[in-house]
Each structure stands twice: as structure tokens, then as C-alpha cells.
Amino acid sequence: MDMTSGMNLTTQPRHYRLAVVPGDGIGPEVTDCALAVLDAAEGLFGFTTGREHVAAGAKHYLATGELFSPGIATRLRGNDAILFGSMGDPSVAPGILERGFILAMRQAFQQAVNLRPVRLYPGVKTPIAGLTPDRCDLVIVRENTEGAYVGRGSTVHAGTPHAVAIQESVNTRVGVERVVDYAFRLAASRRGKLTLCHKTNILVEAGKMWQDTVNELSARYPDVETDYVHVDAMCFHLPTAPERFDVVVTDNLFGDIITDLGAVIQGGLGVAASANINLDGSAPSMFEAIHGSAPDIAGKGYANPAGAILSLAMCLAHLGEAEAARSIESAVVVVLGTMGGLSGPAMGGSTAQIGAHVAAALADVAA
């Protein structure tokens, strides 16, 4: 989270406009929790927020047909940042919300970087035998607007035995460079190590663009050491030797894959946070837990709000409230350490109760 943090030296009142998109399933529950923590943070750290709730997601789409419409885009754009719950429901065909809302927003708002910290917090149970928190503290920087996610291609002779489907991955120097540059700066602010993850030996055109960009930019960051790991080998190293990595930069599709693996290692999707960062200030950045809408457990009070609360912390860091961000993260760490499990009844409290615990811990941390 270091990269998105700033120093706020002004004595002006600090006010931020937040768009809040709770979405579907457990999205609203965990977002409510995050907002309760935000309430507590405002009192403790002396800033204020305005919150504009925006209806979107599966239910909203079924009722209105609206996805990432110009109207929704305009409302979101009027804010400094977006807090996002989660979207999706079995009653909406796969792909509709993903392409019609999430990818559309990432593109329209040029959210060039998808930032996913992979930290194992003390007391959190990881499925990886013997893994300890000191060995697992890395950040995956995923390109978020291009690559295979352009969703372009064509099929000839469809429906015949001779059908050929071609799927394209489009990589621009501009798109790759801004992400790689961001990753270098992030690495420089951390342990000074940047790993490119790709499959350059097979994806020769895209691979060359990524590797050349890393090589060229590395001259500007003499204190950052670089290396390279194939995406298949990454599946091997990430679970067994995460201490090898500080910052990992990768393309959109590989990032989608290895960040889920990262979430496994850190104890599950419930604790994983993410930021979709606009780098040029032209539109708001978006912050969301990595988990989905989990309709099967929605409304049961079983959802772990940690991912949503940690995403709020990333949001505040991005807005310049570094101390509030750090303190919220610390408060989450305290509460995670006391929980009996990461989801379901084993959590030792309902979603709302866990949220209240975090708010209480925040007061202690800030005191």
C-alpha cells in the first residue's frame, strides 16, 4: 500500500467524495462494514467524506437493463474514488456484468494498474504448510486495461468442423510502460526487487514488448533489481517460496490467474484487497475486495469483511490519508489474529460484529 500513500501537510479541511457501489450478494454486507470503519476513521483522523450510493450489478441490471451506462459513468466520475462491493448473480449470464460493467469501467476510467498486495497476516490460517507471515509480503501489479482482456478476436466457419476461433491479446507500449514504471516505483519504495512474470519463450511478440520495457526502464531505477519468472514456474514458486518476491509485474490475464493464487496463499479470498488505479487523475480509482458476490452465503452474516475493509484502507492511502490507512490495516490485523476462522460460523462473530471489532481496534491503534 506504500505507493498510493501520500503526506497531507495542509490544514485545510480534508473532504473526499466517495462513490459507493455495494453491488450484489455479500457486496452490500461487507461494504456496510467498511463504511462503519470509515465512520470511525473520520472521527479519529479528522477528515470527512461524502458518500454517493450508486445502484449497479446483477439485480440492478435485471430490473433496469443498465450496465456501465453514460449516466452511471458520470455519477462515478463526480467522485474522488469508488468503493466497490461485488457483482454477480447466477441469474445473469456469465460475461454480461464482467464485460458490460467491470471491464468497461476499467477501460473508460483508464484504471491502468490493478494492485493486489499478497500479505499473510499473523494468526491467519494459510493452506500452505509451514508458511509464516515474515515470508509472505509481496505485491502483484497487474496490467488492467489491455492484453487478452480487450476481448477481441474472430471465428471463421463457425458451427462447422472447420471452425477456427482466433483470440487476440493487444499490448501497447503505452499501456505496458505505465504499469511497469509504476511497478518500478513501488519496488523502489519497498525492498527494491521487481519480477516480471510472463511467458516470453512462447508469446514472443507480447513477451518481447514486456521484457524490453522492463529492461529499458530499469536504467532509470538503478536501485531496483529485476528478474524474470515464467507464469507456469510462478505457480510453483508463489506457494512454496513467496519470500522470493517483492513486487511482481504482469499482464492482465496472467495477473488475473496469479493473484487468485496469491489470495489462496494469504488465507483466502476473504482477506484479499485490491485497487484499480487511474494513474493520470483523469478519472477515479476503484477499490474492491477480491472475493465475488458469493450468493450462497449472502445475508447470512458469514461473509468476512476483511477484504473490503483492507480495500478501504488502500482507498484512503490513495487519497492521501496515509495514517488512517495504516491504522485501519493494523486494526484489521489485530482482529484477524483473534478470529477462529476466515469465513462462516468459525469467524467467531457475524460480519457486522467483525466490522465493529475492527472499528474498536482502530480506536485503540489510533490512541
Ligand X SMILES: CC(C)[C@H](C(=O)O)[C@@H](O)C(=O)O
- Does 94 engage in binding with its own copies (CB under 8 A)? yes
- Does 50 engage in binding with its own copies (CB under 8 A)? no
- Does 104 engage in binding with its own copies (CB under 8 A)? no
- Does 203 engage in binding with its own copies (CB under 8 A)? yes
- Does 232 engage in binding with ligand X (CB under 6 A)? yes
Map grid coordinates 477499490 to a residue.
287
Q: Among 235, 356, 360, 363, indicate the residue that binds its own copies (CB under 8 A).
A: 235
**Cα separation of 257 and 248, whole Å?**
13
- Does 297 engage in binding with its own copies (CB under 8 A)? no
- Does 243 engage in binding with its own copies (CB under 8 A)? no
Q: Which does 208 bind (CB under 5 to 8 A by kind): ligand X, its own copies, none?
A: its own copies
> In this structure, what C-alpha cell is assigned to residue 253?
490475464
In eight-state DSSP terms, residue 103 is: I
- Does 89 engage in binding with ligand X (CB under 6 A)? no
- Using an 8 Å Cβ cutoff, are 84 and 290 in contact? no
Map grid coordinates 511467458 to a residue.
199
- Does 180 engage in binding with its own copies (CB under 8 A)? no
Subset of residues 9 to 28 that bind ligand X, contact rule: CB under 6 A: none
- Does 98 engage in binding with ligand X (CB under 6 A)? yes
Shortest separation between residue 314's beta carbon and ligand X, angstroms: 14
> In this structure, what C-alpha cell is assigned to residue 87?
457483482
Q: How far is CA 64 from CA 55, 74, 237, in A?
A: 10, 17, 46
For the chain, the first-to-last Cα distance in angstroms comes to 22
Shortest separation between residue 202's beta carbon and ligand X, angstroms: 6
Q: Among 87, 138, 209, 342, indicate the residue that binds its own copies (CB under 8 A).
A: 209
Query: What phi, psi does 61 have (nearest 5°)?
Result: -65, -45
**Cα separation of 139 and 82, whole Å?**
21
- Does 95 engage in binding with ligand X (CB under 6 A)? no
Spatial neighbors of 359 by CB under 8 A, at least 6 apart, are 36, 37, 39, 40, 331
> In this structure, what C-alpha cell is assigned to residue 194?
521487481
Binding site for its own copies (CB under 8 A): 94-95, 98-99, 103, 126-130, 148-149, 151, 153-155, 157, 160-174, 177, 199-206, 208-209, 231-233, 235-236, 239-240, 253, 256-261, 263-264, 269
